[in-house]
Structure 1
Amino acid sequence: MLDTSRRTAYNAAHAAFRDTVRRVFAEHMTPHLDRHEAEGIVGREAWLALGEAGMLCPTVSEEYGGLGLDFGFNCVVTEELAYLGSSAGFTLQNDITVNYFERLGTEEQRRKYLPGMVSGEIITAIAMTEPGAGSDLQGIRSTAVLEGDEWVVNGSKTYITNGQNADCVIVVAKTDPSQGAKGTSLILVDAGTPGFERGRNLDKIGQHSADTSELFFNDCRVPRGNLLGGEGRGFIHLMEELPQERLSIAVSAQAGAQRAFDEAVRFVKERTAFGKAVIEFQNTKFVLADLKARLQVGWAHLDWAITRHLAGELYTDEASAAKLWHTDLQWECCDKALQLHGGAGYMNEYPIARLWRDARVQRIYGGTNEIMKEVVGRSL
Structure 2
Amino acid sequence: MSTIATAGREAVAGVFDFDALLHDEARQWQQKARDFAESRIAPHIEEDFENKHFRRELIAELGEAGFLGMHIEGYGCAGASATAYGAVCMELEAIDSGWRTFVSVQGSLAMSAIAKYGSEEQKQQWLPEMAAGRAVGCFALTEPAGGSDPAGMTTTAVRDGDGWVLNGAKRWIGLATLADVAVVWAKSDEGILGFAVPTATEGFEARAIDGKLSMRASVQCDIDLTNVRVPESARLPGARGLSAPFSCLNEARYGIVWGVVGVARTCLEVAVERSRTREVFGAPIGRFQLTQAKLADMLLEYEKAALLSLHLGAQKDAGTLNRSQISVGKLNNVRSAIGVAHEARTILGGDGITSEFPVMRHIANLESVRTYEGTDEVHALVLGRDLTGEAAFS
Moved more, 234-243 or 95-104: 234-243
* Structure 1 gaps, min length 5: 177-181
For residues 50 and 370 of structure 2, the distance between their equivalents in structure 1, rounded to whole angstroms, comes to 24
C-alpha contact (below 8 Å) 1:141/1:155 kept by paired residues: yes
| CA separation of 1:91 and 1:200: change in aligned 2, threshold 3 A | closer
The one-letter code of the counterpart of 1:164 is T
C-alpha contact (below 8 Å) 1:172/1:234 kept by paired residues: no
| CA separation of 1:215 and 1:130: change in aligned 2, threshold 3 A | same
Moved more, 2-11 or 185-194: 2-11
Q: Of 35, 46, 68, which residue of structure 1 is paired with 2:58? A: 46
For residues 163 and 150 of structure 1, the distance between their equivalents in structure 2, rounded to whole angstroms, comes to 23
- Confirm whether residue 106 of structure 1 aligns to residue 113 of structure 2: no
Q: Aligned-pair distance for 1:312?
A: 1.1
Residue of structure 2 equivalent to 1:198: 206
Residue of structure 2 equivalent to 1:19: 31
Q: Of 137, 141, 144, which residue of structure 2 is paired with 1:131? A: 144
- Confirm whether residue 302 of structure 1 aligns to residue 309 of structure 2: yes
Q: 1:141-152, aligned counterparts within 5 Å?
A: 141-152=154-165
Q: Of 165, 183, 190, which residue of structure 2 is paired with 1:170? A: 183
For residues 228 and 52 of structure 2, the distance between their equivalents in structure 1, rounded to whole angstroms, comes to 27
Residue of structure 2 equivalent to 1:79: 90
Moved more, 245-254 or 29-38: 29-38
SS of the residue corresponding to residue 361 of structure 2 reads: helix
List per-residue Cα deviations over 1:172-194 (Å, max 9, x = no partner).
Answer: 11112xxxxx7211112112111
C-alpha contact (below 8 Å) 2:116/2:238 kept by paired residues: no
List per-residue Cα deviations over 1:303-342 (Å, max 9, x = no partner).
Answer: 1111101111111111101111101101111111112111
For residues 296 and 361 of structure 1, the distance between their equivalents in structure 2, rounded to whole angstroms, comes to 23
C-alpha contact (below 8 Å) 1:171/1:188 kept by paired residues: yes
Q: Deviation above 6 Å: which 4+ runs of structure 1?
A: none
The one-letter code of the counterpart of 2:130 is M
Q: Aligned-pair distance for 1:77?
A: 1.7
For residues 351 and 246 of structure 1, the distance between their equivalents in structure 2, rounded to whole angstroms, comes to 23
SS of the residue corresponding to residue 334 of structure 1 reads: helix
Root-mean-square deviation (CA), in Å? 1.9
For residues 228 and 9 of structure 1, the distance between their equivalents in structure 2, rounded to whole angstroms, comes to 39
* Structure 2 gaps, min length 5: 388-394
| CA separation of 1:166 and 1:333: change in aligned 2, threshold 3 A | same
The one-letter code of the counterpart of 1:167 is D
Q: Aligned-pair distance for 1:5?
A: 4.5
SS of the residue corresponding to residue 164 of structure 1 reads: coil
Q: Of 213, 217, 228, which residue of structure 2 is paired with 1:220? A: 228
The one-letter code of the counterpart of 2:63 is G
Residue of structure 1 equivalent to 2:81: 70
The one-letter code of the counterpart of 1:76 is A
For residues 360 and 260 of structure 1, the distance between their equivalents in structure 2, rounded to whole angstroms, comes to 15
| CA separation of 1:51 and 1:200: change in aligned 2, threshold 3 A | closer
List per-residue Cα deviations over 1:123-173 (Å, max 9, x = no partner).
Answer: 111011111131111111011111012211111111111122111111111
List per-residue Cα deviations over 1:185-237 (Å, max 9, x = no partner).
Answer: 11121121110011233322211111011111111111111111346x14121
For residues 45 and 124 of structure 2, the distance between their equivalents in structure 1, rounded to whole angstroms, comes to 33
For residues 278 and 129 of structure 1, the distance between their equivalents in structure 2, rounded to whole angstroms, comes to 46
Aligned length: 373
The one-letter code of the counterpart of 1:377 is G
For residues 66 and 181 of structure 2, the distance between their equivalents in structure 1, rounded to whole angstroms, comes to 21
Relative to the length of structure 2, the TM-score reads 0.89
| CA separation of 1:297 and 1:34: change in aligned 2, threshold 3 A | closer
| CA separation of 1:98 and 1:158: change in aligned 2, threshold 3 A | same
SS of the residue corresponding to residue 379 of structure 1 reads: helix
For residues 39 and 340 of structure 2, the distance between their equivalents in structure 1, rounded to whole angstroms, comes to 28
Q: Aligned-pair distance for 1:349?
A: 3.0
List per-residue Cα deviations over 1:254-287 (Å, max 9, x = no partner).
Answer: 2111111111111121111122111112111111
| CA separation of 1:6 and 1:368: change in aligned 2, threshold 3 A | closer
The one-letter code of the counterpart of 1:266 is E
List per-residue Cα deviations over 1:3-37 (Å, max 9, x = no partner).
Answer: 58445763212222222222333333223323432
| CA separation of 1:91 and 1:143: change in aligned 2, threshold 3 A | same
| CA separation of 1:257 and 1:167: change in aligned 2, threshold 3 A | same
The one-letter code of the counterpart of 1:207 is M
The one-letter code of the counterpart of 1:50 is L
For residues 121 and 44 of structure 1, the distance between their equivalents in structure 2, rounded to whole angstroms, comes to 11
Moved more, 106-115 or 121-130: 121-130
For residues 41 and 183 of structure 1, the distance between their equivalents in structure 2, rounded to whole angstroms, comes to 39
Q: Aligned-pair distance for 1:103?
A: 1.4
| CA separation of 1:245 and 1:53: change in aligned 2, threshold 3 A | closer
Relative to the length of structure 1, the TM-score reads 0.93
The one-letter code of the counterpart of 2:169 is S
For residues 56 and 107 of structure 2, the distance between their equivalents in structure 1, rounded to whole angstroms, comes to 16
C-alpha contact (below 8 Å) 2:97/2:259 kept by paired residues: no
SS of the residue corresponding to residue 44 of structure 1 reads: coil
The one-letter code of the counterpart of 1:163 is A
Q: Identity, % of aligned pairs?
A: 28
Q: Aligned-pair distance for 1:38?
A: 4.1
The one-letter code of the counterpart of 1:105 is G
The one of the two structures with greater contact order (alpha-carbon pairs below 8 A, sep at least 6) is: 2
The one-letter code of the counterpart of 1:183 is G
| CA separation of 1:304 and 1:347: change in aligned 2, threshold 3 A | same
Residue of structure 2 equivalent to 1:155: 168
Q: Of 94, 105, 109, which residue of structure 1 is paired with 2:107? A: 94
Moved more, 215-224 or 51-60: 51-60
Moved more, 287-296 or 233-242: 233-242
Residue of structure 1 equivalent to 2:367: 360
